[in-house]
Structure 1
Amino acid sequence: MTETIAPTPNTLPARSIAPWLKFTLELGPLLLFFFANSRPKLFAPLVHPFLPAKLLEGESAGLFTATAVLMVAVLVALIVSYAITRRLPIMPLVTAILVVIFGGLTFYFQDPSFIKMKPTILYACFGLALLGGLVFNKPLLPVVLDNTMSLTETGWRILTLRWGVCFLFLAVLNEVIWRTMSTDHWVLFKFPGTMILIFIFTFSQVPLIMKHELRGDAAAKAPEHL
């Protein structure tokens, strides 16, 4: 007879999160970043106690304010997500870590270039990780997506390759835009520009997903990628 062990605080099963809330937690920090950059005076009372006064003045005031707001927002979103699901999703976790690191560098050196570099590093890391996984015959995309889909191994490999190339393209595009255009144009590229590009790319992969999707018993028997 097998013994049933009651869940303890350290062994609580992962719980699902409502799609609308997941979308809000992922998009919310970007929305706040966008509005804080365009309306820094609205957020000034919140960030003033933590930032030198000179950073809240001049042409970069919006970006410094938005960076501070973004750092807090991604951490709050991560905490809320963990409180609900009892686990830390990979992409938001990596994003939050890089936001804190590059946001900290932005304030330490008082140079907005660091926060502009963050998307480049983020997309490059994801792209190289996905393509590197394929080299070792270990598609990582199912892990990133929390096994929310069931595809054939061929389907996962093709989709992982495409997403890896897409992330590298976004990394290069971010570098070109922040180095050649104004801060306001870069912010627009970051949001909503990047989101639009990702949505377009995601929907363009629907035919591939439908072709290689596993259903019924085949999906139930498909191995999880851990």
Structure 2
Amino acid sequence: MQTFKINFLRYAPATTLWRGRLHVMGGSKENRHTPALEHWSLAVKDGKPSDKEWRTEIPIPRGGPHRACIVVNDRLFVIGGQEGDFMAKPGSPIFKCSRRNEVVYDEVYMLDDDMKWKNLPPMPKPDSHIEFAWAIVNNSIVIAGGTTEKHPITKRMVLVGEIFQFNLNTLKWSVIGKLPYRVKTTLVGFWKGWLYFTSGQRDKGPDDPSPRKVIGEMWRTKLKLNS
């Protein structure tokens, strides 16, 4: 098996296949906290690399991990994410981490034929931990759950319970529903008219949006999209 190393280590970069190339962009640097802007791509064919090395691409305007990275209509979208994350405590025998300040994004960036990043309308609220919490439905991007800005008093992580729609025809966001509970890092799919989500980490209850237990159950609902 061939391996092709990127020049630098990255934590949770946005990654997707687009136009026959594997694109890797953003994420955090080696300490997991400092955002990275670099963007590389590698040509692939039949599931194998066809380049001998990674190619440098246009840097993403704002770095950070835990974003949705989506290709639709031959355009590449990077949505949400955050700046900062847990950092390892040097020398900890139990690999303990310490928390740093985190800034959650609502930004949406797009690459198309011009190969220049474009700013699109932001999400209804900042949203992170949505790497796989999306589905493409009738020329819309649907995103479920995530995390948003910390509670202003407790400073605890706040989970998201809304279902968002980004209409690719109008480039407008809307909230089209709510999940049975708030959840982050969930997996979303759409099949035969049903929107599914499974796994992730849910909230502590209706009155406490901070994260608690990791779940394995699956839910589904019929979607009613805005035109």
**TM value normalised by structure 2:** 0.29
Structure with more helix by fraction: 1
User: Looking at CA atoms only, which structure, 1 or 2, has the larger radius of gyration?
Assistant: 1
The structure showing larger relative contact order (alpha-carbon pairs under 8 Å, at least 6 residues apart) is: 1
